[in-house]
Structures are given as structure tokens and as C-alpha cells.
Structure 1
Amino acid sequence: MNRLSQQTSPYLLQHAHNPVDWYPWGEQALTKAKTENKPILVSIGYSACHWCHVMERESFEKEAIAAVMNQFFVCIKVDREERPDVDAVYMDAVQAMGVRGGWPLNVFLLPDSKPFYGVTYLPAQNWVQLLNSIHKAFTDHYQELASSAEGFVQNMIVSETQKYGLTDSTAEYSTANLDLMFEQLQRNFDTQKGGMDRAPKFPMPSIYKFLLRYYDISQNPEALAHLELSLNRIALGGIYDHVGGGWARYSVDDEWFIPHFEKMLYDNAQLLSIYAEAFSLTQNPIYSDRIRKTVQWLQSEMRSKDGGFYSALDADSEGIEGKFYIWTEQELRQTLGDDFEWFSKLYKISKRGNWEHGYNHLHLTHSVEQTAKAAGILLEDLPVRYEEALSKLAQKRAERIRPGLDDKILASWNGLMLKGLCDCYRALGDDAIRELAIATGRFIADKMTEKDQLWHSYKNGLASITAFLEDYAAVMEGYLGLYQITFEEQWIQNAQHLADYSIHHFYDQSEGFFHFTDAYGEPLIARKKEIFDNVIPASNSIMAHNLYVLGKMLDREDYSKISDKMLAKISKLLLADVQWVTNWAALYCLRALPTAEIVIVGEDADAMRKDFDRFFIPNKIVMGTTGSSELPLLENRSDMNAKTAIYVCYDKTCQLPVTRVEDALAQLSGVR
């Protein structure tokens, strides 16, 4: 066993038996490189990464290849989920080298940690050739490498505002600009299959979040049509686990058919939020079904006994990608018995397989009812028999060797999960989901928080690693959601503490954005700021949302000003190429029209809130109390003659209080 055996990261532990003399990222390895004047190999991946496993089997487990690595390099293994700061710095460097980023990410550094070359996956023969070439270059052409490395470092330390020409300005919010953003985004739509017009296809929650808010404002039917097309295909296609619930990371094709089978907590957390909002808008029963089954999967397979949610399920089992999820015709026939014939028509099951190597994968493009009708399946009790068939498959699948579980718990991803559960509760009104959300919030507050400071990772009863901006942003968003479904003021207070800590430790006053790393965290060769939205929104865009909402709730003008400044600086990117800043665009939607401040006061405040939350009103904050409160929007508010009162306010100016949800909704529509 090598040094990685002492680590807690499942990804690092996967490499603990390699003959490579791996070090974890840290002072010991960096000092060794300087002392021995050796180049550093930093190999970055994550536990559910298929090609990381392939490269390990082909190269890192081979004695001869490991001997070359050990002789010429100081070798460091990094879990990108545990150290997103290290990953971000060296991913940025590799992309500056003209290499398309991805994982495994293998970056070669000088002994002073400056990068000079990088690649992703390479087959064993090519990898050995590269190792020898790098060694020769380091020995014979050191000054050239040093010059190149310095250039990459200089590129990395250029600020985001300089790199993208983001200047201070005064934001002017208009629905006309939203129309321009939508039209620009629309050019990249796949209007036949949903999502963006490219393959592989990733679910992109921040795009759907923008479309939901844009449609609410514009009532543009093209926005709703594309939103529903995309969400329907993601809900029905092979990227969704029809047997067990939950979504895989992405589809390798443009049909949403065959997924990259790993299941990540962050995808499922965000998709819960999107499907919850979409259900509130459309009442599509497919959306509520996917929500319930995914929450059930998360509870049964992804939740720790301490109350936090694990990070991921591997794509591979028994060394084969997707083996846990795919079926031969014979397996399905034996498992389903009399239900096989109609089920095979429904899912186009064949002996040859609808995928490869004789395997079938479950995939639909239309609802079960529509597909059954088109296939000539005439069963009066189809809904019941369909669920029974899936249950049989789930029982059979439980006998298989399961994919590996990454059982570290990340504050950032649990914050996203907390927000997803809050949104699901608002849409469905299921009290069991609210209890799960409250338990998740308590876990973060009790196990991953020390005073006002978060920890990034938790495993085996211990929290570790100084938290990053993504942790503060996501957990704040979760707490704000939790307050709005409970009216328990501890959650808004927790969010305020995290906001103040973030401003003090992460905020760059001169540029108007937040650094990714804590001022008192480990210094790297560059201190990055994350501003572009990806599969997970940028930590800065989440923080801008939080500060806008918290500024409204607490009447904190300082929070509001920071949020305004951030959004104003991004406005150039919003109008230039919005697809990379769609979470920012969703915030712009909140600014294009006034935000409703819904205040509910009285004995039935919780029941009234629950009734109110059934409706899709994204541009609102909701606050309430059964008694009295010193929170600014609640101060001096009271019920009406012992009846619970609803106050509809805009910019601290309120209409007359009402005692029925219907009347409050009428007041909202009147303003809009």
C-alpha cells in the first residue's frame, strides 16, 4: 500500500494499492520535488470517473509503468471533488495550453508547482512515451520549460474582469434584454430532441431555471415548449434510471439514450429543483413521479446514518461500465414472466439488444401511455402492471454487484440537495420531504459547521478541508430555502452568518467578485474566481442570488449592493453569449420586474404558506410567523382579528392585508 491508504477520499483509496508511489496533495510532496529537483505529476480525477478507472487499470496498476513514474517524477493524486481549488487552477492551465479539459487530468509541473504540460486520458503505450519525453525535456531543455510554465502562470493570474473585459457599470434591467438573451440561447436549441444542439447531452439545470423564469415574465410559448421538450426527454430517456430512480450524469449520444452511468448528487439535487418548479407550472404527472422516485432513491441509497448525502455512485461495476443497469433479453424474460411480452414492446427489447453486446437499456421518448398505445399494447391495468414490472426488476437488480459508492459528504452538494428538497416540498406539499430537508439542514449545521465557518468534506464522523466559496454559496441557498418552508428563524440567521463570513474572507472589493478560496486557506499559484455557469452554476452567481434574496429579507442594503455590482459586471456576457451565464440570467429575471415580498402572519401561517406554495411564482420571497418577529419585513405585522393575514409587498410598500390565498394571488397578478 502507498501513502494514499491513510486518506479518507474514496478516489484516493482506490489508488492505495497502485505500485505508483502516490502522494496526496500537500507539503510533503511539494517539498520532496524541490529538494530532489524533480518534476511533479499531478493526476486529478474522481471516484465515479470511468476513464479514470481505465487509466488506472492500463497504466497505474502496471509495475513497469509505475517504475518510470516513480523514477522520474513526484506523483500526486488529487480528488477533484475534495480539492476543487487544485483542479480549477490546473484545469485552467491545461486549457490555456490548448488541451480540451476533462478527467483524468494529468498535469506536469516544475518543482515550484508551475505547470508546463497536461493531458487527459492516454493509453498505456502513449503514456509511457510521454513520461520519457517529459523526463528528457526536463533534463535537456529546462529553461524552455520554465519559460513556458511562467507564461501559463501569468495567464492564470490575470483577473477575470481583465480577461473578459468586465467593467463596473450601472445595471439597467429590462424585459427587452431578456428577449434578446432568449433569442440568442434559442439558436443552440435541439428543437427535435430537447436540450442543446450537441452531443454528448448534459442536463443543464441553470438553463432550465432561466427558461422557467423567462417564461413566467414573457409568456413566450417557445420558451415553455423547449423547456417541456427537454424535461420530458430527460425524464423519459435512458439518462433516468427507470428501475431505481435518479439521473445519470449525461447522455453520450444526442438522443438521451445511453448515459454515462455514474450518478452524481449534484445533478440529482438540481434536477429535483427544476422538476419541482416545472411541476408547479405544468402539473405534469411525469414530473411529480420522477421527483418522488428520485427522493426515494436518495433516501435509500445515498443518505448516511448521520443525515448527510453521499457524493456519487460509480459508472462501473465488475469492471464494466453500466453493468448494474443493463439487461439481456433472457434476463428480462426470466424476471418478468407473463409481463415480458408487453414490456418488451414498450421498451423495444430485443435479443440482439437495443444497445451493444446483446444488452438492452430502458429508454422512452414519450409517456408510458402514449408509447403503449402506439405499440398496440392493450391493458386496462397498465399503470399498475407497469409499476409491478419495475418492482420485479428492482428486486432482481438488487442481487447484482453494486457500483462503487463515493461516501464522502460535501457541504456544497448537500447545500444543493437541501435546496432541491425545499423546492420539492413546495411543489408537492409532502411533509415527509420537508422533514428530510430539515434533517439535512441540521446535519450541515451540526456536523459541517464550526462557529460561522463551514468545512468542505465529511467522512467517518470527521469534517475536514477548509470550505470553498461553492460550499458557502450552496449552503446559504439551502438555508434560505429551508427558512421559507418552515419560518424557523435559525435558518435565516445561519444564512446571514455565512454571508458575513464570505464577504470578509472571500470578497474582492476591487473587482466585485468572490474568490473561490478562503483568504486563510492554502495558497496556490493562482487564486481563482468562478464566474461561468456550467453543470453546476458558478459559485459567484449563486452567491449573487443569495445576497439579493437576503438583502430583501433582512433589509441589508450592503448585501443588495454587492449583488447588484456583480450582476452589472456580468451584463456584457449576458448579452454576448448567455449560454455560459444562465444562472446569472435567472437572477436578471428577478431584477427585470419587482420581487414580491409575501409576508404571512398568524396562527395558520404554515398552512397558508403551504397553500400559497402550490403556485409557480418564482419572483418572490416568503416570510412568516405565528406570533411576532423582529425580522424587518415581519416587524409590527399582525394578524387580522385573529385570522391569519397575508401581506403582498413590493420594495417595502404593502397592499392591504388579506386573509385568503386567492385574494393575495389576485393582488400579485394585479401588479404584474
Structure 2
Amino acid sequence: MSEEKKANRLIHESSPYLLQHAYNPVDWYPWGEEALQKAKELDKPIIVSIGYAACHWCHVMEHQSFEQENIAAAMNEHFICIKVDREERPDVDAIYMDALHAMGVQGGWPLNVFLNPEAKPFYGGTYFPAQQWLGLLQNVADAYKKSRQELDKSAEQFASHLNASELAKYGLQESNFHVREEDFRLMGYNLSTRFDKKLGGLGQAPKFPMPSTYLFLLRYYSHTHDQTALNQLNLTLREMAYGGIYDQMGGGFSRYSVDAEWLVPHFEKMLYDNGQLVSLYAQAYQVTKEPLYKGVVMETIAFVERELMSPEGGFYSSLDADSEGEEGKFYTFTKAELQELLEEEEPLFSKYYHVTAAGNFEHGRNILNRRISDEKFVQENQLAMEVLQEMKAGWKEKLMEARAQRIRPGLDDKILLSWNALMLKGLADAFYVFGEKQLLTLTLQNAEFLVKQMLVNGKLYHNYKAGKPTIDGFLEDYALLIQALIRVYEITFEEKWLQQAKTLADYTLTHFYDEQEKLFFFTDNSSEKLIARKKEITDNVVPASNSVMATNLHFLGLYFDEEHYQQLSNDMLSKVKDLVIKEPSHMSNWASLYFYKLKPTAEVAIVGEKAAAKRAELSLFFLPNMLLLGTQNQSQLALLHDKVPVNGDTTIYVCYNKTCQLPVYTVAEALEQLKNHQKDQKKFPDL
């Protein structure tokens, strides 16, 4: 019988990723002062190994290297070893990922970086096979002893790079801010050069959903009526919904597709993807009224509620890609398994979901996927639509029951504020569009949880686990929660949510804003000081916290008649405008902000007893450049002070730049006013 494993320091951590490494023979430290001080005392180099719980290659490297006694012995002898959960510490991850790029190495996770005792990096990489890792450990240890001066010099150069201005890095100059129609259309054109017009998405494999890109495309279409933009949007959303990246039985999206066809996913399911994709499909439904999109929204929310929701109302972070040591095993089926489960209905099921005896995945297993619409399928197979829908419901029930008997993928049960805020926004958008009461219940449950548990004495926290919040909030936490709370106000007309959003925005201006560059730092000025204080500018799978804050300031400036906020928003966009025009695929959320500034944002106020009903009627239409206010009786908001129900009837005021058109009583009349104003604004002067 093998000797019982001894726990290392990570056993006291709350992160599931760190706890996965708690019984490694490596003498791991969590990131913190103890480890950094120990490196200085012993004059040892540091290994910082960064990953996350749902990361497949992180698990592989752990099993191959960190669980091996001989490799652990080399690590313990020569280094101070620190494990970091990148989802808990995106600030640490951003610094050392930037350092890796500066070394000319393509980034990814696991991220393994070697630092000197001052925490400055001198070498790094991503995944290393065991023997290569062991050799590298010895080489770095030897170099540290024999060539210390050169390594320290290299580390200083990398540290200097890390502290360089993000604006300088992209060659962005100070410029006068103008919004121009031709620049906006150039963004659309530059984005279109990357379209995969056959399979949807951008570029080739691997393919990520990138929701903010398509949220911009929706706005681009609403302004230009360019059918090419809408066609690409519909192609992408349909192919993703039909593909293996979408869980055809249980709902919800995997992180990305390894191929160009959206067929074979990397099976981990992340909260941040699903929250944003709920928003995207809900808004796309407003434009297209495509039933497929509503189905995706409702099934994805059902998945999140079923598998990622905590009893307190927060949402957990992710589900692992692997179960029983195999990627995707939980979600895939062999033809024989399906024959046993579905009996005489299996041939039709297999035709619908493209199942074969050979399988389209490893070990003869099948990733369920679709190729055609239900309308076309019933036509080709001479079925009634009602019969197909009834059969599909039965198939899903049987397969979900079979999946429930399997060993589940690992759950990362930490609750991250920024990711929850994206899900909160998704829920609020879904309620706004579809009006189902359960969606409002979920929205308010999550919103109450976040402000009750993760906001302490006016300060947000990034992480919540085991009943307590930990880790100071980052800009992404503030920015994304502010964005979500504005939306929660719009679906409830409860002003506490909007006031909370403003209070948090004011906190960011005090603790995150850089007056010199007119952008926000990622970290709070009262938080731990690292070797660099970064700013997040480019939009990725999650929009950049600066682009979200600039958008928040635009809308809060209108809600609260704060010209200062508006000016800050303009200043921020002016800093990056050239890059937005040139590289919209990397700046798509900034591009959406450009859209909001291209023409005046409509201020639509609904006052009177039937305010909620009128809002629900208005939500049938896609009106992205609109600020929505409402009250049944009285309000503290300046924009509502002089607006009252006329003759006691619920009244709608359509205003621009605080100048209102005649009050009207029906949504149809309000829409006509919005439409006519758009016609009058063919050319909008430069700001």
C-alpha cells in the first residue's frame, strides 16, 4: 500500500484549481508575501505556474510533472514554487502573460514563468512534457548560479517592458475626437475581411464565440441596414447553435471549437461565455424573431441554473472538459449506447444529430450536432413538426437521464464577481426580450446576492467561496457589475440599482483612474502592488474593462446629467479610436461605443401606472442606442423630474440631449418619433 500523501500549503486555499494541487509533492505556495519574502531570504529563483480548474493541459502537466517525486524534488531544491489560479488573480496572470509575449512565446495555459527574487521574469513557457520540464529546471538552476548577472539584467528589461504605456505599445497618439460615418463604415468593412462566409465566425480554427464582435455587428446592421452584416451574424449564430460547441441535449456552450466547423469543442463550459451568449442570442432574436435563438437562450439559462447556480444565488465559474480522465466523455455517445437508450427511434435520432457507428470523435464516440433546420428535416423525412418536437423532447429526457448516471466533469465552485455580472446582464437581457417571470426572479436573486455578499463597505471583492468574499475587486468586477446594474434598472425601474451603479463608478474614478493617460488601471490603488500596474485595452473573449467603463460612463452621464462622465467617455474612446477603426475584431466593444456616439442616444421615459407594460411592448423592438427610464409615480432622477402622466394616462416621452418631443400614449407613436428622428439625423456633426 502506498504511503499516504502529505498536503502542501495549498490545502488552506479556497480555489478548486489550487486545491487540485494540494497533495502534489511540490512544495507549492499560493501567491502572496510569504512566498515572495522566502525567495528573497533564500535568494532562490521563483517558478510561477498559472492555470485554472477547467484547463485540460494544466491537468496533463500536473499528472506528468507536478505529481512526480523526482521532478518535485528538483523544483523544491532549486526554486520557490508558486501556484496561481488565473481566474482568481487575473492581475498576476496579465503581467506574466505579457512577459511571455515579450519573450516571443505564444501565450496559453498552463503558464510557467521563472522570476528572480524581486518577482521580475527572465524566462517562461506554457506546457512542457515531463522530461523537457526536468531538463529546463536543471538548466535554469545552473544559469541562475553561473550567470546571475545576465539573468537579472534580462529580468530588468522585461520589467521595464511590462511598465511601458499600453497606448505606446499600440502606437496610439493623442488625437482630437471626431465620430464620423465613414470611419464607422470602415470598421464594418475591416471586420468583414475576417468573416468565414461559409462556416461563420472569424478566420479559421480554432474558433471562439467572441460575443462582443457579434453584438457590434447587430449594432452595425441596425445603423447601416447592411444585409451582409446580418447574414454573417445569422450564419455564425446558426452554425454555433447547430454545432458540437453547443450542448445539444443539456444547453450551454463550450469554450471554443478546435475546428472551423464548430463541431469538436474544447468541452469546458465557462460562465463568462454563457452569460454573454445569452445576451447575444436574445438581442439577435429581437432583430430576427428566429425561434432557434429563443431556444438557445432558454436552454442555456436552464443549464446555468441547473449546473452552475449556488444555493445562495451566485453562479459557479466553470465545468471541466474532462471526466474519468477523458475529454468530452460526459457529453458524447456511441451508436450502440444510443440504440440501447432510444430503441426504434435511434435511426431517426442519429439522422437528426449525425451519429455514425464509427463516431466523429475519439473512441468511436459521437459529438451530437445538427446541419439543417427543423423545417427542412421534417420535409425531408415526411414528419409533422409536432411529432418531431415531441420526439426531440423525449430524446433529450432519456439522454439527460443517462448522463445523470455518469461521473460528472469537475465543478469549479468559486464565485467570481465579473463573470457573475456577465451572467446577470444575460439574464436581464433575456427577461427584457422574452418577459418570462422566472427570468426576472433569477436576475434579482443574483443581483441581490452580488451586492449583499461581494460589496463590503463600498468596496467590491472579486471572489466568493465558503461564505466569504476574498481578493480585492479588479476593474473588470466594477465595470461589468455597473453595466449589469444599469440593465437591471431598465427591466425593473427600481432606482436603487442605478444609484448603486453610479456609486461604484465614482469609486473607480477615485481608485482606478489614471489622470495622465485618461484610462483606468486594472487594479485598485489600495490593493497589493505588483511589479507592474496594467491597463486592459483590447477586447477579447470578455470585453476589455476599459471599453466597458467608457460605455458605462456614456450612459451614466446621460442618466444623471453628468457631463463630466460623458467627457471622460469621449476622452477614453479618443485614445484608442485609431486602433478601433483598424482592428475592430480586437476592439469590438469599443466599436459598439463608437456606434452609441455616432448619433444622439435616445432618452425614452415611461411614466404612469402601466410603465412596466409599455416597457414590455417596447422590448419587442431592437433599439440599441436607447436609454430607458420609468416610474409609476415619482422619481429621484433628474431626467424624470418634469415628466408626469398626462391626463392620468401612462405617458411616453422621447427625448434627445434633454430636449423632448411631444408626449405620446402608445408605443407605436413613440417608435414613430424614434424613427423620424433617425431620418433627421442622416449626418451628425463631429463632437
* TM-score normalised by L of structure 1: 0.99
8 Å contact 1:20–1:66 — kept in the other structure?
A: yes
Which has the higher mean CA deviation after the structures are superposed, 134-143 or 375-384? 375-384
| 1:460-539 matched pairs, under 5 angstroms | 460-539=466-545
What is the aligned counterpart of 1:174 among 170, 180, 196? 180
| 1:526-605 matched pairs, under 5 angstroms | 526-605=532-611
- Cα distance between partner residues in 1 of 2:131 and 2:450: 46
- Give 3-state SS (helix, strand or coil) of 1:192's partner: coil
What is the aligned counterpart of 2:9 among 3, 9, 13? 3
What is the aligned counterpart of 2:81 among 75, 86, 107? 75
8 Å contact 1:408–1:459 — kept in the other structure?
A: yes
Deviation of residue 460 (structure 1)?
Answer: 0.9
8 Å contact 1:245–1:293 — kept in the other structure?
A: yes
8 Å contact 2:603–2:656 — kept in the other structure?
A: yes
Equivalent residue pairs, number: 672
State yes or no: 1:459 paired with 2:426: no
Letter of the 2:595 partner, please give it: C
Show CA shifts across 1:84-118 (max 9, x none).
00000000000100000000000000111000011
- Cα distance between partner residues in 2 of 1:95 and 1:374: 52
What is the aligned counterpart of 2:368 among 362, 366, 382? 362
Deviation of residue 374 (structure 1)?
Answer: 4.5
What is the aligned counterpart of 1:192 among 189, 198, 201? 198
| Structure-2 residue corresponding to 1:336 | 342
- Cα distance between partner residues in 1 of 2:362 and 2:30: 38
- Cα distance between partner residues in 2 of 1:372 and 1:105: 49
- Give 3-state SS (helix, strand or coil) of 1:57's partner: helix
Deviation of residue 387 (structure 1)?
Answer: 1.6
- Cα distance between partner residues in 2 of 1:371 and 1:102: 41
8 Å contact 1:628–1:637 — kept in the other structure?
A: no
8 Å contact 2:194–2:202 — kept in the other structure?
A: yes
What is the aligned counterpart of 2:165 among 159, 163, 170? 159
| 1:239-638 matched pairs, under 5 angstroms | 239-371=245-377, 373-374=379-380, 381-638=387-644
- Cα distance between partner residues in 2 of 1:280 and 1:495: 26
Letter of the 2:507 partner, please give it: Y
Deviation of residue 429 (structure 1)?
Answer: 1.1
Deviation of residue 371 (structure 1)?
Answer: 4.0
| Structure-2 residue corresponding to 1:643 | 649
- Cα distance between partner residues in 1 of 2:325 and 2:653: 59
| Structure-2 residue corresponding to 1:41 | 47
- Give 3-state SS (helix, strand or coil) of 2:252's partner: coil
- Cα distance between partner residues in 2 of 1:564 and 1:443: 33
8 Å contact 2:330–2:407 — kept in the other structure?
A: yes
Show CA shifts across 1:17-36 (max 9, x none).
10110000001110111111
| Structure-1 residue corresponding to 2:681 | none
8 Å contact 1:342–1:377 — kept in the other structure?
A: no
Question: What fraction of aligned residue pairs are identical, expressed as a percent?
Answer: 53
Show CA shifts across 1:551-585 (max 9, x none).
01010111111111001111110122221101000
- Cα distance between partner residues in 2 of 1:151 and 1:380: 67
- Cα distance between partner residues in 2 of 1:461 and 1:74: 31
Deviation of residue 173 (structure 1)?
Answer: 1.1
Show CA shifts across 1:165-194 (max 9, x none).
323333211222111111111111100000
8 Å contact 1:251–1:257 — kept in the other structure?
A: yes
Runs of 4+ residues deviating >3 angstroms: 371-380
Deviation of residue 358 (structure 1)?
Answer: 0.6
Which has the higher mean CA deviation after the structures are superposed, 361-370 or 500-509? 361-370
Deviation of residue 262 (structure 1)?
Answer: 0.2
Show CA shifts across 1:113-154 (max 9, x none).
000011101111111111111111111111111111111111
8 Å contact 1:169–1:569 — kept in the other structure?
A: yes
| 1:70-149 matched pairs, under 5 angstroms | 70-149=76-155
- Give 3-state SS (helix, strand or coil) of 1:381's partner: helix
- Cα distance between partner residues in 2 of 1:347 and 1:241: 11
Show CA shifts across 1:480-510 (max 9, x none).
0000000001000100110000000000011
- Give 3-state SS (helix, strand or coil) of 2:363's partner: coil
8 Å contact 1:47–1:406 — kept in the other structure?
A: yes
8 Å contact 2:374–2:385 — kept in the other structure?
A: no
Show CA shifts across 1:428-481 (max 9, x none).
111210111111110111000013210110011100110000000000001000
- Give 3-state SS (helix, strand or coil) of 1:357's partner: helix
8 Å contact 2:375–2:385 — kept in the other structure?
A: no
Alpha-carbon RMSD = 1.1
Deviation of residue 353 (structure 1)?
Answer: 0.8
Show CA shifts across 1:34-54 (max 9, x none).
111111000000000000001
- Give 3-state SS (helix, strand or coil) of 2:640's partner: coil
- Give 3-state SS (helix, strand or coil) of 2:362's partner: coil
- Cα distance between partner residues in 2 of 1:106 and 1:171: 41
Letter of the 1:99 partner, please give it: V
8 Å contact 2:354–2:370 — kept in the other structure?
A: no
| Structure-1 residue corresponding to 2:156 | 150
- Cα distance between partner residues in 1 of 2:676 and 2:423: 34
- Give 3-state SS (helix, strand or coil) of 1:424's partner: helix
- Cα distance between partner residues in 2 of 1:601 and 1:488: 13
- Cα distance between partner residues in 2 of 1:164 and 1:616: 34
Structure 1, unaligned runs of 5 or more: none
- Cα distance between partner residues in 2 of 1:638 and 1:262: 51
8 Å contact 1:372–1:378 — kept in the other structure?
A: yes
Deviation of residue 291 (structure 1)?
Answer: 0.5
State yes or no: 1:20 paired with 2:26: yes
State yes or no: 1:203 paired with 2:221: no
Letter of the 1:19 partner, please give it: P
8 Å contact 1:345–1:375 — kept in the other structure?
A: no
- Cα distance between partner residues in 2 of 1:198 and 1:529: 29
- Give 3-state SS (helix, strand or coil) of 1:455's partner: strand
- Cα distance between partner residues in 1 of 2:289 and 2:336: 38
- Give 3-state SS (helix, strand or coil) of 2:578's partner: helix
- Cα distance between partner residues in 2 of 1:348 and 1:579: 32
Distance change in 2, residues 1:577/1:380 (3 Å): closer
